[in-house]
Structure 1
Amino acid sequence: GKWNGSNQQCLAVSCDEPPNVEHASPETAHRLFGDIAFYYCSDGYSLADNSQLLCNAQGKWVPPEGQAMPRCIAHFCEKPPSVSYSILESGSKAKFAAGSVVSFKCTEGFVLNTSAKIECLRGGQWNPSPMSIQCIPVRCGEPPSIMNGYASGSNYSFGAMVAYSCNRGFYIKGEKKSTCEATGQWSSPTPTCHPVSCNEPPKVENGFLEV
């Protein structure tokens, strides 16, 4: 009436090291079935929601039922990327705390295509995205017209030039080119066109001139 064989034991299932979570470190006393790993975020970050993983019966680390994987979100934003022809008015800091508002200012001759301000949101995102910001060239209107002449050129953006010419029988007086300035105005003064004139006609022997 005796059982043969050595004593049997039931051992708890064990899990591997808890998985890595970006910007967080796990802490756990053991890694056996039912044990809990607690995650702690690095400075400047906080947990979005769940902070735990459980060692389950299959030897896997899983979040509690109905919970997501631990995730650390930033309390700061990285310095916004540079925008062509702009200056970041809020200094040259490498990081900005959540809630910070920074402003862009365009260099001379350029204007913003949208709001100049963006805000650092909790989670490390800028709102609106800096990628939506552009500094576009100032535009001038039609160049001033001149009597008996015309302007050549189709680009009316900051820094562009138009050239003035006179109609046949007229000559130009003044600066022939005008530039679109940062103010949105064409450089002045505008040239003028004057009639071409001739000297006295030559005299002819034994004749006379009628005009």
Structure 2
Amino acid sequence: MPKRTLRQRIHAGFVLAAAFLLVLASNRLNNRNFSAVEHGVDSVFEDRLVVQEYIYRLNNLFHKKELFLANNTLDDKGLPYYPEIKTILADFEKTDLTREEALQLSSLNENYAELKTLEKAHLKNQASEEDIIAVLGSIGKNLDELSEVQLSEGRQLTQRSKRSLGMNELLSRIEIVFLIIIGILFLVIVFYRDKPNMELVEDEA
């Protein structure tokens, strides 16, 4: 039986264990990065693109009110009522809001409540069109700010997803290099044999 066989087996076991741990750790990191990418993609769609559509629809509806006021005649009384505004705002609040979004959406709801109050007062000639136009202007600013948030957040989510994918690519390359090194070490351990000890022969005088 060749020498150091037990030591070779122990070393081989360590190498295989290292390879297993490397693959396991790499797999967990890759899964985490893919989860981050998946969450980023879902968030871009559900909390950014969908919300951008909400903002677009709200902007159109409030703009119709502005056009109505601009083309108003003395025979026209109440502003057009759009019940879908309330529905869109309720759906908006169900999305994953950032701090800035929550502030702007809260301000938008307050301005919309004020607008409804002014519209009712306008029917009784107790509110001027200038007051309503001023509130509609504030609502427009809220919508502009919310639109800017969508662009900013969408850009950040995209950048995070790209970083996660880049990290996965880097980890894959590192894993390949380490597996090659581990494979070479394993072959060296398995096929390495000690040279037989050379016996020293003393010349007799």
TM-score interval, normalised by the smaller of the two chains: under 0.3
- Give the helix-richer structure, 1 or 2: 2
> Which has the bigger relative contact order, CA under 8 A and spacing at least 6?
2
- Give the strand-richer structure, 1 or 2: 1
TM-score (norm 2): 0.26
